[in-house]
Amino acid sequence: MMADGQLKVLGCSGGFGKGHHTTSFLINESLLIDCGTGVGQLAHNELKKINHIFITHCHLDHIVSLPFLLDAVGVKRHRPLQVYASKTTIDAISNHIMNDLIWPNFTKIPSPDEASVVFFDVQAMSTWHLDGLKIYSYAVPHVVDALAYVIESSSGAIAFSGDTGYSKEFIDFLNTVDNLKHLIIETSFPDEEIELARISQHLCPSLLTSMLENLHSQAQIHLSHLKPGYEKKILDQVIHGSRRRISTLKNNQNLLF
């Protein structure tokens, strides 16, 4: 059976610099998960095809390309771009970025009746049916309100943790997902910085492998959001602590589900 879902990695780094693009994934040409600097890898005609964006949380590395995307194609669209996020994230974008000071308020451009973007408040455990896909949200622990997403096609499912601290509850939720083929999960720091990981509510290899012990699925595990310069050390530490199929996510990688 051929997969009906395809995720393309536009950006998956936990930092900024040459060769490093922050979090954004393109699914089946029309849907984005997060809107980091990786969106800049898309050509203008590809940007115009995006109809929906699901945002995990309001930190800049996950939302920075949204204002530029709206500036590039917002008024050229036949319908508003639909952005799905928690109320905290929507308020942060509205109050601190698209506030007619830092950036124009595209909810009123070209007019309030014909806006370039509309926002939808995503609650934890919400479900959306869009473009032949089913999207679930789940709240995960972070220093701001944060969401994980599961995207399900007719042939399988893929999950993305977003930024998260240790959460057995998230793994318990994933154990209810049928035919989970891939799990993209952040691992920001090496074990030497476990206290920083705990304070900032991120993961390090020992915290991640402890979580994965409770995962029933044999899904392929992909590490994301690794801090630049630590990629090899983090991967080596994760592989040493787990018997699962684990790899680091790469720019332009395609995952079928």
User: What crossing angle do the helices spanning 205-212 and 231-241 adopt, rounded to 10°?
Assistant: 40
> Is 0.85 topped by the overall pTM?
yes
Residue with tokens 């964006």, as numbered in its chain? 53
* pLDDT, average across residues 27-51: 97
User: Comparing C-alpha atoms, which of 240, 243, 244 is closest to residue 232?
Assistant: 240
**Mean predicted lDDT score pLDDT of the chain:** 97
Question: Which 3 state secondary structure label does DSSP give 30?
Answer: coil
Catalytic site includes residue 61: yes
pLDDT at 1 over 80: no
Q: For a pLDDT cut of 70, what percent of the chain falls above it?
A: 99
- Summarised one tens digit per residue, pLDDT across range 96-110 is 999 999 999 999 999
What is the radius of gyration, based on Cα positions, of the chain? 18
State residue 190's pLDDT score: 98
pLDDT tens, residue by residue, 194-241: 999 999 999 999 999 999 999 999 999 999 999 999 999 999 999 999
Indicate which residue of 4, 34, 61, 178 is catalytic.
Answer: 61
* Residue 93 CB contacts under 8 Å (≥ 6 apart), including other chains: 58, 63, 66, 85, 119
Identify residue 89 by its one-letter amino acid code.
T
- The two structure tokens encoding residue 137: 């949200």
